[in-house]
Structure 1
Amino acid sequence: MHPVTICPSILSGDFSALGSECRALAEAGSDWVHVDVMDGHFVPNLTFGPQMCAVLRPHIQGTMDVHLMIAPVDPYVEAYAKSGADILSAHIEAGPHVHRTLQAIRGTGCKAGLAINPGTGLDAVAHLLDDIDLVNVMGVNPGFGGQKLIPATIAKVRQLRAMIADRPIRIQVDGGVNARTIHALASAGADLLVAGAAVFEGGPEAYRRNIESLRATAEGVLA
């Protein structure tokens, strides 16, 4: 198991000051920023293009974790890699040739993540475990922040942890992560917890307290 990492989702930040938000997260002790890319087609929302990611990159200290909720994915892998992403995660549901997509991501030098929607089982993931660095288990139906965790996510994470065995693959949960749910998710085996409102509530002066509280809760489960 890796240490638990809290991954603030910049989707919940102040869109009028995203650079400042990223700097505030670094000052609060966060070494990851999760960037949710939505295309209005694969999911019902529009967010960040490659140029926006490139603009954010200088303000992010540490890992820029880019979650591609787009279809198709392959034509945009290079652009998002050049924007400064350290990790690119693509959805298994976004196209028929996910293995090719993962190869393309790794070919850019980025780490490869595989994201799966709540209605997608783990059978196909088993055949891709040697081609990925993380699995992003969606805890909600993607497209909007602020949703409640789908309870079946916990059992899915536990099953995935058993499948991964001793491989150095991280399990990320995106959606519905807060002080009430992080106990169960961390104990099931998730070590990358994407949090939106649970981090950003209260403004920049509260970010450190929020992050430390979430991390302490998760580490208490694993101790």
Structure 2
Amino acid sequence: MYKLGPSLMCADLVNMERDIRALEEAKVDFYHIDIMDGKFVPNFTLGPDFVSAVKGLTSTPLDVHLMIEEPERYIDLFIEAGADMISVHQESTKNLQRVLNLIRNKGIKAGVAVNPATSLEFLDYIYDVTDYVVVMTVNPGFAGQKFIPSMYDKIKELKEKITAYGRPIEIQVDGNIGAETIPGCLNNGADMYVLGTSAVFRSDNTLQQNVANTRKLFDKGAEV
């Protein structure tokens, strides 16, 4: 079953409560919140106060994507702010296994994000402490980038690895996910879809209509 998660970095920050209400009406499955520190990626975005504010508006799970150095220093901060899921990058910490264990021991889901040029081999040693894998289909840091086509093969390879491992690990895709790219992600095994300016936050329709139009892509299944 696929899950849709609007990327709140792309929302109207001045009218966030309005946008959250509209997305709640559209019955999205989770909210994706990007945290950037200007070091691990060349951009700054949201923080724990934003997570806390969103938590006060919804009971829908909050998926916090930490694109920051030494994420282990801030896990408690974001859990206290309201995170239900936290993903970190393999390259951002010296001890990924420890960080994932730390997240899971706090009672929330732990994810690991994989940059486009990063091999999947390191995952062989952390599947037992991983709840979801974020396949970055663009280089992290900025919205509006082009999808990297070779990531379809990466999603497929990851799906095969997870199936062989035998744990219920979900595959999340993040980066230019929309009408042109959803079919390939779906057919190769992705489960969770982070939706930004290519899908939900388009100006040609309301947020509710954009979510509905996106769902139609999945309803067509493998025929898309």
Place the TM-score, normalised by the shorter chain, in its bin. over 0.9
Match of residue 111, structure 1, among 101, 106, 109: 109
Matched, 1:168 2:172: no
CA distance in 2, matches of 1:56, 1:29: 16
Structure 2 counterpart of 1:190: 190
Structure 2 counterpart of 1:212: 212
Amino acid at match of 1:143: G
Match of residue 124, structure 1, among 95, 104, 122: 122
Match of residue 69, structure 1, among 67, 70, 81: 67
CA distance in 2, matches of 1:157, 1:219: 20
Structure 2 counterpart of 1:156: 154
CA distance in 2, matches of 1:162, 1:125: 13
Q: Where do 1:18-167 residues align within 5 Å? A: 18-165=16-163, 166-167=166-167
Q: Deviations over 1:102-131 (max 9, x none)?
A: 011112211001101001000001211111
CA distance in 2, matches of 1:115, 1:89: 6
Superposition TM-score, scaled by structure 1 size: 0.94
What displacement does 1:222 show?
Answer: 4.2
2:14 is paired with a residue whose SS is coil
What displacement does 1:31 show?
Answer: 2.8
What displacement does 1:21 show?
Answer: 1.6
Structure 2 counterpart of 1:9: 7
1:140 and 1:176 in contact (8 A); partners too: yes
2:9 and 2:46 in contact (8 A); partners too: no
Amino acid at match of 2:112: L
Structure 1 counterpart of 2:181: 181
CA distance in 1, matches of 2:49, 2:208: 28
CA distance in 2, matches of 1:132, 1:37: 20
Superposition TM-score, scaled by structure 2 size: 0.94
Q: Deviations over 1:125-174 (max 9, x none)?
A: 12111111100000000000011111111000000000001321110000
- Count of residues paired in the alignment: 220
2:109 and 2:131 in contact (8 A); partners too: yes
What stretches of structure 1 move > 3 A for 4+ residues in a row? none
CA distance in 2, matches of 1:16, 1:52: 12
In 2 relative to 1, CA 222–58 (structure 1 residues): closer, same or farther, beyond 3 Å? farther
What displacement does 1:202 show?
Answer: 2.6
Identity rate of aligned residues, in percent? 39
Amino acid at match of 2:203: G
Structure 2 counterpart of 1:200: 201
CA distance in 2, matches of 1:93, 1:58: 32
